[in-house]
Chains A and B, each alone.
Chain A
Amino acid sequence: MNEFVNPVEPFLRSDRMPHIWCPGCGIGTTVNCFARALIESKIDLESLALVSGIGCTGRVAGYVKLDSFHTTHGRAIPFATGLKLANPKLNVVVYSGDGDLSAIGGNHLIHAARRNIDLKVICVNNLIYAMTGGQTAPTTPDHAITSTNPYGVFEPAFNLPHLVEAAGAVYVARWTTFHVRQLARSMAEAFQKKGFSFIEVISPCPTLYQRRNKLGDGLDTMKYYKEKSKVRHGAPTSEVGLTMTGEIVVGKFVDRDRPDYQTMMRAQYSEALGPQFVEQPEMVCS
């Protein structure tokens, strides 16, 4: 019987299936990649916590068999910051959508990158607010039709890799849901980094984005990702902005080292306080 067990099943709350995601949605694909990354990196699952915000991707926290927190809209990163600072032994992953992380949570995103909090942020970018019905997000490409820009979007979109690199992230990569092996490898690689890591996953929303923009179904989007993606590791992030039907630059853009928040904090306290500095003990107040 065992040979029929899906290898990612131990990472999922099977009792919560079926999930809420639409046919053709890419979020489930990213979760599959995440589970494979966990297998590959042999991370101790008991030390792994996953934090999500609100939205379609925000529901990931509810489907993974981990200590998992479905927080408030935009606030996954500050919640994760508290979790990590209180228990530095935890591997903390933030798994959320583009609207959650870069609009309502945009301030937290840049400040966590600036502080270099040791978090792995997986941003599933479906270019739209999907849960609420397809409204314009800060990531929606120019001219796209959305429910709140029915005549086409005219405000410029965020280039998320560029934003988080400028803010200080130590690891920045982008893949699409077509690039399942590369994405899983990138996630595993991020686990090896100490500091603020950011992986953007371009993912279809056939129900709201692709349909309204006459971009076909999930399969058509896979073909688009396959044909129009260009792997350019180390590409300057200023050049990786997205358009509606143009090239998608993917790859690992940033991989650098600088001390993370807690390392800097301990160093500063040690220098300033000398023997008066007391290391934070394990904070289990039970």
Chain B
Amino acid sequence: MKADPRGVLTGVHFIDGDHACCEGALAAGARFAAGYPITPSTEIVERFAARVPTVGGTFIQMEDELAASITLQGAVWGGAKAFTVTSGPGFSLMMEHIGYAAMTETPCVFVDVQRGGPSTGLPTLPAQADMMQARWGSHGDYEIIALCPNSPQECFDLTIKAFNLAEEFRVPVMFMMDEVVGHMTEKVIIPAADQIEVVPRKHTHKPLEEYLPYSTNGDLVPEIAHAGEGYKFHITGLTHDERGYPNMTAEVQGKLVRRLQNKIRAGADRLAMYEEEQLDDADVVVVSYGITSRVAQRAIDLARERGLRVGKLRLITAWPFPEKKISELAAHVKAFVVPELNLGQMVHEVERAAAGQARTIPVPHAGGSVHKPEEILKVIVEASQ
């Protein structure tokens, strides 16, 4: 369906990534946000707090991130599209409820504008060191989707995508920004509402007596009902059967947790979004994401000027990891160079997917600034030999 025009600020704007993310959420139909202030993400909810009463919706600032990350889920079961916004320390507190959203299949979006860590770390400076936390931070086996924008325009476009994927798969989607992308101001084009595709909630049309909250009819994603509609359903974070009733058996646990995993894995190829350039003749592929991809671009250009055959693979989807693409490339290239603002996270996935067919070389950075293009170039040169 098309976006509700009330939420769409059609036009050409000069705004930062945080504000663009907020506009993306509004365009996607989000009418509820719960937040707790934390740099460098706060501008997203500040804008939402200003905008949403003119659109018809609610923002509430909660007492902490534990509250924010579950309040938004209450709102989802009340019928809203909802999200929260945070950075590393708050993201750590939200892990419990990422697990709850995964287990209860609550469609929602968690925005993490990454800053340096661990702990309080570097509140105002960038990092990309929450990438593994986004995937593995809550306990137990589960799958999520994570997207990485590298510009304010993508903060708008991909926030809509994040909401759409959340609804399609009934899964919490991690929107993994970084401080630089969040605070970078660029041109952002917001199209007309009728140009924006919005995925509606997978709401059940079954008669009251026939509805089972976790019956999937074989397509892996169950239909949802909202409180107050008469379905009188039960939702629990305990292991549950198709009725939503607790069931503490290995059999039901296996069935449920495998489905939670399979519903994302089965869609992995379709979910794999990336940008590729100059891969046809490449000996070396630079794999990057977020702000680092823009530094890597400079390094790639410098390497090409030197006659090195280097290509670009920019990850837009971080999770599920686009391993098929890496695996295909690995058969033809000498090496992957993986710069990221952490001491080695997504590089492990690249290495796993390359499976020894090509070398995988990290370009680590502890955060606090971005790489210098020369640092990446140096590794490209070494990898080309």
CA distance A219 to B229 in the complex (A): 41
- Candidates A62, A75, A276; contact of B97 at CB < 8 Å: A75
Contacting residues of chain B (52-89) with chain A, CB-CB under 8 angstroms = 53-58, 60, 62-64, 66-68, 70-82
Of the 9-residue stretches B14-22, B143-151, B235-243, B321-329, which lies at the interface with chain A?
B235-243
B11 at the interface (CB under 8 A from A): no
Assess whether A42 is interfacial by the CB under 8 Å rule. Answer: no
Given A62-B245, A68-B235, A286-B200, A46:B73 Cβ within 8 A = no
Which residues of A sit under 8 angstroms from B234, Cβ to Cβ? 13, 61-62, 68-70
Partner of B237 from the list A70, A89, A279 (CB cut-off 8 Å) is A70
User: Which of B27-35, B117-125, B277-285 lies at the binding interface?
Assistant: B27-35
Please judge, given known A-B contacts A47-B228, A67-B231, A84-B78, whether A61 and B58 are in contact too, CB under 8 Å: no
- Give CA–CA (A82, B56) in the complex, Å: 15
A283 lies within 8 A of B79 (CB)? yes
The contact of A286 among B62, B71, B76, B201, by CB within 8 Å, is: B201
- The answer to whether B228 and A89 touch across the interface, beta carbons within 8 angstroms, is yes
Least CB distance, B61 to chain A, in whole angstroms: 10
Q: Determine the residue in chain B with the shortest Cβ distance to A13.
A: B234
Please give the distance in Å from B74's CB to the nearest CB on chain A.
3
Residue A14 CB within 8 A of the other chain: no
A49 within 8 Å of B by Cβ? Answer: yes
Q: Any chain B CB within 8 A of the CB of A224?
A: no
A285 touches B72 (CB 8 A): no
Indicate whether A82 sits within 8 Å of B71 (C-beta atoms), given known contacts A70-B235, A107-B64, A278-B54. Answer: yes
> Is residue B13 within 8 Å, beta carbon to beta carbon, of the partner chain?
no
For window 32-68 of A, CB contacts with B under 8 Å fall at 45-47, 49, 51, 61-62, 65-68
Given contacts A278-B6, A286-B203, contact A85 B58 (CB under 8 A): yes
**In B218-259, which residues have CB < 8 Å from any A CB?**
226-238, 245-246
CA distance A80 to B200 in the complex (A): 24
Is A158 at the interface (CB under 8 A from chain B)? no
The answer to whether residues A67 and B233 also contact, given A72-B100, A107-B64 and a CB cut-off of 8 A, is yes
Q: Are A278 and B79 in contact (CB under 8 A)?
A: no
Assuming the contacts A67-B228, A283-B31, A285-B79, asked whether A62 and B246 have C-beta atoms less than 8 A apart, the reply is yes
- Interface size of B as a range: 35 or more
Is B301's beta carbon under 8 Å from chain A?
Answer: no
Q: Shortest Cβ distance from A96 into chain B, in angstroms?
A: 13
A 1-49 contacts with B by CB, 8 A: 13, 16, 45-47, 49
Known A46-B230, A61-B236; judge A78-B67 contact (CB<8 A): yes
A62 cross-chain contacts in B, Cβ below 8 A:
234, 236, 245-246
Smallest beta-carbon distance A111→chain B, Å: 4
Asked if B96 lies at the interface with its beta carbon under 8 angstroms from chain A, I say: yes
Most-contacted residue by chain A among B228, B232, B235 (CB, 10 A): B228
Q: What would 14 A/B residue contacts be, using CB atoms closer than 8 Å?
A: A46-B232, A67-B233, A68-B232, A69-B77, A78-B74, A82-B74, A82-B76, A83-B74, A87-B226, A90-B78, A108-B63, A269-B53, A283-B79, A285-B31
- 5 more A-B residue pairs beyond the given contacts A13-B245, A84-B78, with a C-beta to C-beta distance below 8 A: A49-B228, A69-B236, A83-B77, A280-B57, A284-B226
